[in-house]
Amino acid sequence: MRSSKGKIHLSIITVIICSFAFLVILHTDPSKDSYPRTKYVRKQSKYATAEEKPAKDHLKSSGIDNRIKFNQKVWRVDIGKWVFDHSFNPLYTERSCPYLERQVTCIKNGRQDSDYLRWEWRPDDCALPRFNANLALEKLRGKRLMFVGDSLQRGQWRSFVCLVEWTIPENKKSMKLGRPHSVFKATEYNATIEFYWAPFLVESNADLNSRVDMKKRIMKLDSIAKHGKHWVGVDILVFNTYVWWMTGPRLKTLWGSFEDGEVKYGGELDYLLAYRVGLETWADWIDSNIDPSKTRVFFITMSPTHQRSEDWGKINGTKCFNEKKPILKKTHWGSGSDKRMMSVVASVGEKMRVPVTFINITQLSEYRIDAHTSIYTETRGNLLTEEQKADPLHHADCVHWCLPGLPDTWNQIFLTYLL
């Protein structure tokens, strides 16, 4: 069914459309970690309120022990709905967390509506407990947790840090931002929560310079060692890679490593084939370098983009611009999530020796057209100007997500797998 000609045609068109949108967005320099160093203010009462939300739902109250009852094998996190709760408060705010980058602090950047902060994901067949910061840190005691991937993964990493950091006194935590490797440390727990930038997982000439012209971007589909050596010895590895592959129907590739001078031009490959080869390189690396009794490996499925408002029936809309509510129609799936890319991930995963846990955030995120940074973001280190904001067709970012926001839910789910 998925190989019908019509669909392939449509998806290529989509890829082409998306490529223009990504052009702007992927040029955002990942190394520019220019988050505002707002003074950290502990808002104990606020968190307490959030934690003590009346247990009108089945999620709550009996607390910690609840979590253990998950049976991840039968649990379908992707089937459920978003429920609005006006009394819901995220565990942190743009002000309370000093580690957010300006790219994602939507309210500081001028967003007026805040309902996007108050939707909770309710899977149909189980209760999803709230994120428990102390439990998360306890779980990470003496361990290294590392998120590896692109800017969406960086968002999830920052979300995770913000979700736990408020429970740690000022002098017992540190953050070292680096390129490509950043480390948040919780000293008392001897735990680190790290991010390693590798948007394709495999090597490319754009890894440390995301401003490389899309047309000149070249992937080394069989080379990963340069990145991989930084992943050795980590206890919990969490990978993603998706949008960077979606820049056009074909991608330029090279074979051979950067160092050995024996680089051969591999020509242009269909993006699906390139993705498969790249993921297989990653899978081989994992299988030959990871001891599954020491290291757990996770893979976050694709984060949807919302570039075509027709996908959700808004003929005259402008991408995700001005969306204030999630899509409520069940099983909505838009053109920004490529099911064939998803099946590549699944089929590569099936053949691996080391078990990989897929955290399937795609469906639940597909609904969240309201949660993107849209025009409340920056481009090349500058906030959008009024002129740019008035032109959402060219400037709205419907790839990245506001924080606090949707990636907090990804972490809420991720934590249930960790416990």
In the complex, minimum distance from the CB of residue 403 to ligand NAG, in angstroms, rounded to a whole number: 23
Q: Is the peptide bond before 392 cis (omega within 30 degrees of 0)?
A: no
Bridge partners of 252?
Answer: 218, 268
Beta carbon nearer to ligand NAG, 140 or 384: 140
Half-sphere exposure of 417 (CA within 13 A, CB side): 24
In the complex, minimum distance from the CB of residue 333 to ligand NAG, in angstroms, rounded to a whole number: 8
Asked if 301 touches ligand NAG (CB under 6 A), the answer is yes
Asked if 315 touches ligand NAG (CB under 6 A), the answer is yes
296-300/356-359 β-pairing: parallel
Q: Is residue 407 within 8 Å of 155, Cβ to Cβ?
A: yes
Label each residue of 199-265 as H, E or C.
CCCCEECCCCCCCCCHHHCEEECCCCHHHHCCCCCCCEEEECCCHHHCCCCEEEEEECCCCCCCCEE
Beta carbon nearer to ligand NAG, 29 or 235: 235
Beta carbon nearer to ligand NAG, 221 or 361: 361
Asked if 363 touches ligand NAG (CB under 6 A), the answer is yes
Asked if 345 touches ligand NAG (CB under 6 A), the answer is yes
Length of the chain (residues): 419
Specify whether 400 is catalytic. Answer: yes
Catalytic residue among 11, 151, 210, 365: 151
Token pair recorded at residue 261: 């001078």
Specify whether 3 is catalytic. Answer: no
In the complex, minimum distance from the CB of residue 192 to ligand NAG, in angstroms, rounded to a whole number: 7
Beta carbon nearer to ligand NAG, 318 or 411: 318
Beta carbon nearer to ligand NAG, 26 or 146: 146
Closest CA to 290 of 231, 374, 238: 231
Q: Is residue 254 within 8 Å of 202, Cβ to Cβ?
A: no
Binders of ligand NAG among residues 36 to 95 (CB under 6 A) are 78
Q: Which residues bind ligand NAG (CB under 6 A)?
A: 78, 142-144, 190, 301, 315-316, 342, 345-346, 358, 360, 362-363
Q: Which residues are catalytic?
A: 151, 397, 400
